[in-house]
Amino acid sequence: MMKRRQFLSQCSALSLVAAIAHRLPASSPSRRPRVLLRSSWQCVNIGDIAHTPGVLALLEEHLPDVEVTLWASGNLTEEVAAMEHARFPKLKIVKGTINDTGRASNDDLQAAIATTDFLLHGSGPSLVAARDVAAFTRHTGKPFGVYGITHGSYRSGGADHLLSDAEFVFFRDSVSLELAKEEGVNCPVMEFGPDGAFACDLRADEKAEKFLAANGLEPGNFLCCLSRLRYTPYWTIPGDHRKANPDRVARNEAMREHDHAPIREAIIRVIRETDRKVLLCPEDMTQMTVGKENLYNKLPADVQRRVVWRKNFWLTDEALSVYVRSAGLFGSEMHSPIMAVGNGIPAIVCRFAEQTSKGFMWRDIGLDEWLFDLDIESEAAAIPDAVLAMASDFAAAQAKTEKAKAFVQKRQRETMQVLQQSLSDGEREIE
């Protein structure tokens, strides 16, 4: 693949003039520099949603002079887009793909590609939009960077060469970073960079307060609990066309009780040994059922009376507004804890082999005492004690959280400075 510098050096004089007019570098007095954010992977999971507003918030805070357009996946819903526009009213959203000739599938995307200075791939479980990134760089010669991804899952196949062509790649966990180095990925900047969802600050306070009041949950006196199966049963979501994989269904059934028993015991101890309540809530559209069948329905009657099961899915803004009113989170999900810690709320993470290495970011940000591997029996057995300790001493838990949050924010500032430098380099190179 042709690098940006090779692309420009091979231009004829006429082509270079066209390229200058085409790119309108950052120093041009006629407009602000432009970044095209390729993000927004799916809307059935509030964590997948949170990647996008998180990165948008970082760009808004650290690069306020940059004009950002969101290049979203086709399944971005009107409801989620409206939520994002409520927080970022000037945000322009485009969708579509680039064909083999370099032409976008619609005029809005074509215009965004033609006028942008830089493509930024947002956080995710891999280089999710590798095909789009490859087409963009191949047909424009413009630079791109990668912000906060995991590397090494089955989704990462074929991305190594493309990652090496990036201006920078920030990996959201150190396991991914080391693997990429071992595989020979090589670009100017390869470092740990927090998942964009840490910066998500969406709110739906009125909805949250109404929900809490209706369910007898007092702000600051309840914990949120999230649970999942080894493989997300997307096939149970109405309208989702993914088919059930028999092997995955069998694995879910085999590990169902094993994975939920320590979390259930943590709930029991919180209810019986503190005055706090517990809210069972979902991160994706399948988890209302998962929580009810594997946690709520199996709780003793005295415990169940002080546990609230949320039966309806919610969006990221309402969920985060509830999380910030809680005394902490725990369970086997990742992005609700990320959003919680990013907003100063303690969170315990349980992981297992079927997940990507993303959970190890808890070690990277200094929260290794709150990371538990359900495949290691001694760690699984320690979960109830850790949750009880968090529930019993919020001040201590919050102090630990604030330290991790400060580290995350430091890295966020540093990573945004790298993007700023890439924009400046692009300006100088074309002058």
CATH code for the domain of 44: 3.40.50.11720
109 and 257, same domain (yes or no): no
384 and 414, same domain (yes or no): no
The reported pTM is 0.91
Question: Could you tell me what percent of the chain has a pLDDT over 70?
Answer: 90
87 and 225, same domain (yes or no): no
For the chain, 431 residues long, the average pLDDT of each consecutive 10-residue run is 42 31 44 94 94 98 97 96 98 97 96 98 96 96 97 64 95 97 94 98 98 98 98 91 93 98 98 98 97 98 98 98 98 97 98 95 98 98 98 98 98 98 71 44
21 and 170, same domain (yes or no): yes
317 and 395, same domain (yes or no): yes
240 and 381, same domain (yes or no): yes
CATH number at residue 301: 3.40.50.2000
217 and 272, same domain (yes or no): yes
Question: Token pair 């900047």 is at which residue?
Answer: 189
Cα-based angle 113, 85, 36 (whole degrees, multiple of 5) = 20
**Pairwise CA distance, residues 78 & 90, whole Å:** 16
23 and 117, same domain (yes or no): yes
Name the helix (H) or strand (E) containing 170.
strand 168-171
154 and 285, same domain (yes or no): no
pLDDT digits (tens, 9 = 90+) for 289-321: 999 999 999 999 999 999 999 999 999 999 999
Structural domain count, the chain? 2
182 and 271, same domain (yes or no): no
**Pairwise CA distance, residues 166 & 182, whole Å:** 17
Strand locations in 97-154, DSSP E? 118-121, 144-149
According to the model, what pLDDT value does residue 72 have? Answer: 98
According to the model, what pLDDT value does residue 26 have? Answer: 42
278 and 413, same domain (yes or no): no
pLDDT digits (tens, 9 = 90+) for 75-99: 999 999 999 999 999 999 999 999 9
According to the model, what pLDDT value does residue 427 have? Answer: 60
82 and 142, same domain (yes or no): yes
Range of the domain at 195: 4-199+409-430
Instruction: Name the H helices within 24-91.
Output: 46-62, 78-87
According to the model, what pLDDT value does residue 159 have? Answer: 67
